[in-house]
Amino acid sequence: MRAAQVIEATNRRQFYCHSERIFLKFKVLFVCQKRFLRNDIFIFLFLISLHDSLAQDFIRTANDIPVERNGEQLALPFLGGLDRFIPQFVDIDGDGDVDLFISDADGQLTLLENIGTSRTPQFRLVPDAFKDINVRNWFYFVDMESDGDPDLYHANEDEGLTFYRNNGSGRQANFVLEERAVLSFNGQPVFSQLTSIPVFADIDADRDYDFLAASSPAKSLPIKMSAAGMRLYCNLKQNDGKTC
């Protein structure tokens, strides 16, 4: 059957080039495409004009609309929960009860102060308390200097550690950036894999905090392997430079 006859047959049956029911040779498809190109352009331009005619322009007329519950204004009424919840309880203000720190996928560190007691906790959001510190995918408060106030470690952009020293007091914290990339005793960066949540603990019972983190086998650093995929960084402060 010639190409012209095929085109005429398809027209009578109301077949179109873009239909999945048509199985024509490439030459016939090319002829059909050329024939219907003008109609397709018209439909496309019509849809664009229809979209523009139905588009709406919105103008902001109010900011920070207050939302209250039982007479108390809610600081984050539409928070909607957390995507990657990382918590830690620590007494940040030295009043004898633990406060709650949380971070989410955006790395923002948020403080919920305990205004109750150790037996009956009541947490209150403290907005923007640590707005200038982004902890990325994990953080950890630990009194590394044994001076009675917690210092802060968190992840950095190179899968390492950033250290903030607490230069304040047990009742009034003041975190100052000390090391953007914490180094080991031989000058190599301390490594923590991006997907791990590391921990500080006295692994060798020498009264100081060591650092334990998950790690990829591809990383080769001068540290002690405690298990497959786990890396232990020993704190040499209390053991005269000896390893764990």
32-46, 131-145, 185-199 — which one is most confidently predicted on average?
Answer: 131-145
For the chain, what percent of residues have pLDDT higher than 70? Answer: 66
pTM of the shown model? 0.62
Residue 231, phi-psi category: left (phi > 0), alpha (psi -120 to 50), beta (remainder): beta
Which pLDDT value is given to residue 195? Answer: 78
Can you give the pLDDT at residue 10?
45
pLDDT for residue 50: 57
What is the DSSP annotation of 22-83?
----HHHHHHHHHHHHHHHHHHHHHHHHHHHHH---------S---EETTEE-SSTT----S
Instruction: Give the residue among 1, 31, 3, 5 at the shortest CA–CA distance from 17.
Output: 31
Do the beta carbons of residue 192 and residue 213 sit within 8 Å?
yes
Span 60-95, pLDDT tens digits: 776 778 888 898 888 777 766 777 889 999 999 999
Spatial separation of the C-alpha atoms in residues 109 and 129, rounded to whole Å: 8
pLDDT at 46 over 70: no
Q: What residues pair up with 227 in beta bridges, in sequence order?
A: 230
* DSSP β-bridge partners for residue 237: none
The predicted pLDDT at position 103 comes to 92
- Residue 176 pLDDT: 94
Q: What gap in Å lies between CA 193 and CA 133, rounded to an integer?
A: 20
Q: Cα dist. 241→179, 202, 209, 237 in Å?
A: 21, 16, 14, 7
Q: What is the mean pLDDT of the chain?
A: 76
Whole-number Cα distances in Å, 104 to 15, 22, 61, 111, 121: 55, 52, 30, 12, 22
Can you tell me the mean pLDDT for 137-160? 91
